[in-house]
């Protein structure tokens, strides 16, 4: 007697997603996470008091932290690298279609990273030219003193003047003086360029 045919198993339905809370600014993120215990946080970068990179770094330093997916319009190389180094598991642009955002949340919740295709392409292009760029950046940084190197390193990590002052045991005024000297020596026009140069040199 032939064995009875078995119906194929239905694939498990994806776990439903729910938005459990909203934080208006980066300084409200930790409290919102304490209240709602989300698996994944969608993080903007531009916020008034505490930016998304700092908020991400603080979240990822916690015990059993939620995953973070950056969802933003600010897609400069600096922002991408800062966010990823702060612990973000994904980086999406705000024009990403909603179904792809949902898929990204599920992917990151499962422990896998996700990047917008445009971001992936840019990082690949950056990797191709990184070697030559790194040598030029390191040569430029040789003009700095040891203390100025320390300031550059901290700035590349996205730290504010106050955070740099605390870390390096100096006053905020001294940090500002170092930043001014660095800008002059490297012929740069703002501290964003300092951070990018530091990234190019492989300091962060």
Residue 105 and residue 161 share a domain: no
Of 64-68, 89-93, 108-112, 142-146, which range is least confident? 108-112
For 11-52, the pLDDT digits (tens) are 555 667 878 888 888 888 888 888 888 999 999 888 878 888
Residue 74 and residue 44 share a domain: yes
Give a yes or no: residue 66 inside a domain.
yes
User: Is pLDDT above 80 for 178?
Assistant: yes
Q: CB-side exposure of 32: number of CA atoms within 13 Å?
A: 20
User: Is pLDDT above 70 for 9?
Assistant: no
Q: Which helix (H) or strand (E) holds 70?
A: strand 67-72
DSSP assignment letter at 28: G
Provide the domain count of the chain.
2
Give a yes or no: residue 17 inside a domain.
no
Give the model's pLDDT for residue 128: 59
Give a yes or no: residue 6 inside a domain.
no
Give a yes or no: residue 172 inside a domain.
yes
Judging by DSSP bridges, how do beta strands 67-72 and 90-93 pair with one another? parallel
For 88-125, the pLDDT digits (tens) are 888 888 888 888 889 888 888 887 778 887 777 667 66
Provide the CATH number for the domain around residue 47: 3.40.50.2300
Task: Kindly provide the b/e burial profile for residues 70-103, where b requires at least 16 CB atoms within 10 angstroms of the residue's own CB.
Answer: bbbebbebbbbbbbbbbbbbbbbbeeeeeeebee
Query: Across all residues in the chain, what is the average pLDDT?
Result: 82
Give the model's pLDDT for residue 130: 61
Domain enclosing residue 69, as ranges = 36-115
How far is Cα 106 from Cα 112, in angstroms, rounded to an integer?
Answer: 9
Q: Where are the alpha helices (DSSP H) in 14-116?
A: 29-36, 52-60, 77-86, 98-109
Give the model's pLDDT for residue 86: 85
From 58, 85, 115, the end of a domain falls on 115
User: Is pLDDT above 90 for 84?
Assistant: no
From 115, 148, 168, the end of a domain falls on 115
């Amino acid at each position: 007697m032939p064995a009875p045919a078995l119906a194929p198993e239905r694939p498990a339905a994806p776990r439903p997603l729910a938005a459990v809370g909203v934080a208006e600014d980066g300084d409200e993120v930790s409290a919102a996470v304490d209240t709602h215990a989300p698996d994944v946080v969608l993080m903007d970068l531009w916020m008034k008091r505490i930016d998304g990179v700092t908020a991400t770094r603080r979240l990822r330093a916690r015990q059993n932290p939620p995953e973070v997916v950056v969802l933003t319009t600010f897609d400069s190389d600096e922002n991408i690298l800062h966010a990823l180094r702060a612990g973000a598991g994904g980086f999406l642009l705000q024009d990403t279609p909603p179904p792809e955002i949902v898929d990204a949340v599920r992917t990151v919740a499962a422990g896998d990273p996700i990047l917008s295709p445009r971001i992936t392409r840019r990082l690949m292009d950056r990797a191709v030219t990184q070697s030559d760029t790194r040598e030029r950046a390191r040569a430029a940084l040789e003009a700095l003193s040891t203390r100025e190197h320390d300031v550059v390193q901290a700035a590349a990590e996205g730290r504010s003047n106050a955070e740099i002052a605390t870390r390096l045991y100096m006053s905020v005024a001294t940090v500002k003086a170092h930043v001014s000297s660095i800008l002059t020596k490297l012929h740069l026009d703002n501290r964003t360029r300092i951070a990018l140069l530091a990234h190019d040199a492989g300091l962060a």
